[in-house]
A and B are shown apart, each in its own frame.
Chain A
Amino acid sequence: MNGYAGSILRVDLTSGAITKRPTDPAEARAFLGGRGLNVKRLWDEVPAHTDGLAPENKVIFGVGPLAGSLFPGGSRFNVSGMSPQTGILGDSNAGGFFGPELKFAGVDQLIVEGRSETPVYLVIWDDWVEIRDASALWGLDVTEATEAIRADLCDRDVQTAVIGPAAENGVRFAGVFSNLVRAAARTGMGSVMASKNLKAVAVRGTGTVPVADLRRFQELIDVVDRRIYSHDEYEVRVRLGTTKLVTALNGIGGIVTRHFQSGVFEYADQVSGETIEARFKIKSKACFSCTIPCSRFLVIDDPRFPGLKLEGPEYEPLAGFTSRIGNGDLAFGLRCIDLANRYGMDAIALSEVISWSMECQERGILTLADTDGLDLSWGNQESVLALMHKIMRREGFGDVLADGVRAAAERVGGGSAEIAMHAKGLEVFQADPRAIKAYALGNAVSSRGADHLRSEPWFEFSGDAEEGIRRYGVAESAFRLEHKGKGRVVKHFEEMAAICDSLGVCKNTYNNMEVLDWDETAELLNAGTGWDMTGEEVRQVGERIVNLERLLIAREGITRADDTLPHRFLHEPLGPPDGPSAGATVDLDQMLDEYYEVRGWDVKTGLPLPAKLAELGLDGWDGSEG
Chain B
Amino acid sequence: MGRGGRILVQSDICSGCRACMLACVAAHEGGFGYAAARIRVTKIETEGLDVPSVCRLCRKPGCVAACPAGALSRDPVLGVVRLDEEECIACGACADGCPFGMVILHPTTGLPLICDLCGGDPSCVKRCAPGAIHWGGADEQARERREALALREGGGARESDTVEEHVGASGVAPARFRANRPPARPPRGGGSVRPASRNEGGTE
| A contact set with B: CB distance below 8 Å | 68-70, 72, 97, 100, 104, 126, 143, 146-147, 154-157, 179-180, 204-211, 214, 218, 229-230, 234-235, 238-239, 282-293, 295, 297, 299, 309, 311
Q: Which 7 A-B pairs have the closest CB atoms?
A: A297-B48, A293-B15, A206-B35, A286-B17, A206-B107, A208-B33, A157-B202
Query: Does A70 contact B26, Cβ atoms closer than 8 Å?
Result: yes
Q: What class of interface size applies to chain B in its complex with A?
A: 35 or more
* A573 CA to B180 CA, complexed, in Å: 41
> Quick check: is B87 within 8 A (CB to CB) of the other chain?
no
Query: Does B47 contact A104, Cβ atoms closer than 8 Å?
Result: no
* A42 CA to B91 CA, complexed, in Å: 47
B43 to chain A: closest CB distance in Å? 7
**Given the interface contacts A286-B15, A288-B17, A291-B129, does A229 sit within 8 Å of B174 by beta carbon?**
yes
Query: Does A234 contact B176, Cβ atoms closer than 8 Å?
Result: yes
**Given the interface contacts A155-B202, A214-B31, does A289 sit within 8 Å of B179 by beta carbon?**
no
Residues of B within 8 A of A292 (CB): 129
Query: Does A205 contact B35, Cβ atoms closer than 8 Å?
Result: yes
Residues of A within 8 A of B127 (CB): 70, 291
Query: Does A239 contact B46, Cβ atoms closer than 8 Å?
Result: no
Contact pick for A179, options B45, B47, B200, CB 8 Å = B45
Q: Tell me the residues in window 1-46 of chain B with beta carbons closer than 8 Å to chain A beta carbons.
A: 12-13, 15-19, 22-23, 25-26, 29-36, 42-46
Residues of B within 8 A of A157 (CB): 43, 200, 202
* A39 CA to B78 CA, complexed, in Å: 52
Residues of B within 8 A of A229 (CB): 173-174
* A146 CA to B45 CA, complexed, in Å: 10
Query: Does B32 contact A211, Cβ atoms closer than 8 Å?
Result: yes
Residues of B within 8 A of A230 (CB): 174
Contact pick for B15, options A147, A179, A204, A283, CB 8 Å = A283
Residues of A within 8 A of B177 (CB): 238
With CB as the reference atom, state the residue of chain B lying closest to A157: B202
With CB as the reference atom, state the residue of chain B lying closest to A69: B32
**Given the interface contacts A104-B35, A209-B33, A214-B30, does A283 sit within 8 Å of B44 by beta carbon?**
no
Query: Does B33 contact A287, Cβ atoms closer than 8 Å?
Result: no
Query: Does A238 contact B179, Cβ atoms closer than 8 Å?
Result: yes
Query: Does A209 contact B31, Cβ atoms closer than 8 Å?
Result: yes
Q: Which label, helix, strand, loop or mixed, suits the secondary structure of the B interface?
A: mixed
Query: Does A180 contact B45, Cβ atoms closer than 8 Å?
Result: yes
* A299 CA to B46 CA, complexed, in Å: 11
Contact pick for B26, options A104, A147, A214, A282, CB 8 Å = A214
**Additional A-B contact list (12), CB under 8 Å, known A229-B173, A291-B127:** A68-B33, A206-B203, A208-B31, A210-B31, A211-B30, A214-B30, A238-B180, A282-B48, A283-B15, A293-B130, A309-B48, A311-B45
Contact pick for B22, options A283, A289, A299, CB 8 Å = A289
> Can you name 5 A-B residue pairings with CB atoms under 8 Å?
A70-B32, A206-B36, A235-B176, A283-B48, A288-B17
Query: Does A70 contact B180, Cβ atoms closer than 8 Å?
Result: no
A222 to chain B: closest CB distance in Å? 9
* A104 CA to B21 CA, complexed, in Å: 13
A162 to chain B: closest CB distance in Å? 12
Query: Does B202 contact A104, Cβ atoms closer than 8 Å?
Result: no
Residues of A within 8 A of B182 (CB): 282-283
Query: Does A211 contact B19, Cβ atoms closer than 8 Å?
Result: no
Residues of B within 8 A of A311 (CB): 45, 48
A212 to chain B: closest CB distance in Å? 10
Query: Does B29 contact A208, Cβ atoms closer than 8 Å?
Result: yes
Residues of A within 8 A of B31 (CB): 208-211, 214
* A234 CA to B179 CA, complexed, in Å: 11
* A283 CA to B202 CA, complexed, in Å: 25
Query: Does B32 contact A287, Cβ atoms closer than 8 Å?
Result: no
A98 to chain B: closest CB distance in Å? 12
**Given the interface contacts A156-B44, A290-B19, does A68 sit within 8 Å of B32 by beta carbon?**
yes
Residues of A within 8 A of B15 (CB): 283-286, 290, 293, 295
* A100 CA to B18 CA, complexed, in Å: 11
* A265 CA to B48 CA, complexed, in Å: 31
* A143 CA to B45 CA, complexed, in Å: 9
Query: Does A293 contact B32, Cβ atoms closer than 8 Å?
Result: no
**Given the interface contacts A286-B15, A293-B180, does A156 sit within 8 Å of B202 by beta carbon?**
yes
* A483 CA to B197 CA, complexed, in Å: 59
Query: Does B47 contact A309, Cβ atoms closer than 8 Å?
Result: yes
Contact pick for B202, options A126, A204, A239, A285, CB 8 Å = A204
B71 to chain A: closest CB distance in Å? 23
Query: Does A218 contact B44, Cβ atoms closer than 8 Å?
Result: no
* A95 CA to B132 CA, complexed, in Å: 22
With CB as the reference atom, state the residue of chain B lying closest to A296: B48
Residues of B within 8 A of A211 (CB): 26, 30-32
Residues of B within 8 A of A72 (CB): 19
B197 to chain A: closest CB distance in Å? 10
With CB as the reference atom, state the residue of chain A lying closest to B35: A206
Contact pick for A218, options B26, B29, B42, CB 8 Å = B26
* A179 CA to B18 CA, complexed, in Å: 14
Residues of A within 8 A of B18 (CB): 97, 288-289
* A69 CA to B50 CA, complexed, in Å: 20
With CB as the reference atom, state the residue of chain A lying closest to B172: A225
Contact pick for B42, options A156, A208, A214, A235, CB 8 Å = A156
Contact pick for A143, options B26, B33, B46, B180, CB 8 Å = B46
Residues of B within 8 A of A282 (CB): 48, 182
* A209 CA to B33 CA, complexed, in Å: 6
* A211 CA to B43 CA, complexed, in Å: 27
B20 to chain A: closest CB distance in Å? 10
Query: Does A289 contact B17, Cβ atoms closer than 8 Å?
Result: yes
* A234 CA to B31 CA, complexed, in Å: 28
Query: Does B48 contact A235, Cβ atoms closer than 8 Å?
Result: no
Q: Tell me the residues in window 117-131 of chain B with beta carbons closer than 8 Å to chain A beta carbons.
A: 127, 129-130
* A297 CA to B16 CA, complexed, in Å: 11
B166 to chain A: closest CB distance in Å? 17
Residues of A within 8 A of B129 (CB): 286, 290-293
* A289 CA to B17 CA, complexed, in Å: 5
Query: Does A156 contact B29, Cβ atoms closer than 8 Å?
Result: no
* A384 CA to B48 CA, complexed, in Å: 27
A233 to chain B: closest CB distance in Å? 12
Residues of A within 8 A of B46 (CB): 143, 147, 180, 309
Query: Does A239 contact B179, Cβ atoms closer than 8 Å?
Result: yes
Residues of B within 8 A of A70 (CB): 19, 22-23, 26, 32, 127
* A282 CA to B181 CA, complexed, in Å: 9
Residues of B within 8 A of A286 (CB): 15-17, 129
Residues of A within 8 A of B30 (CB): 208, 210-211, 214
A69 to chain B: closest CB distance in Å? 5
* A299 CA to B47 CA, complexed, in Å: 9
A599 to chain B: closest CB distance in Å? 35
* A111 CA to B26 CA, complexed, in Å: 29
With CB as the reference atom, state the residue of chain B lying closest to A294: B15
Residues of B within 8 A of A287 (CB): 17
- Residue of B12, B35, B43 most packed against chain A (CB within 10 A): B35
B111 to chain A: closest CB distance in Å? 14
Residues of B within 8 A of A297 (CB): 48
With CB as the reference atom, state the residue of chain A lying closest to B36: A208
Query: Does A291 contact B44, Cβ atoms closer than 8 Å?
Result: no
Residues of A within 8 A of B17 (CB): 286-291, 293
A167 to chain B: closest CB distance in Å? 20
* A126 CA to B22 CA, complexed, in Å: 18
Residues of A within 8 A of B12 (CB): 283
Proximity string of chain B (175-204) to chain A, C-beta cutoff 8 Å, 1 when within and 0 when not: 011011010000000000000000110111
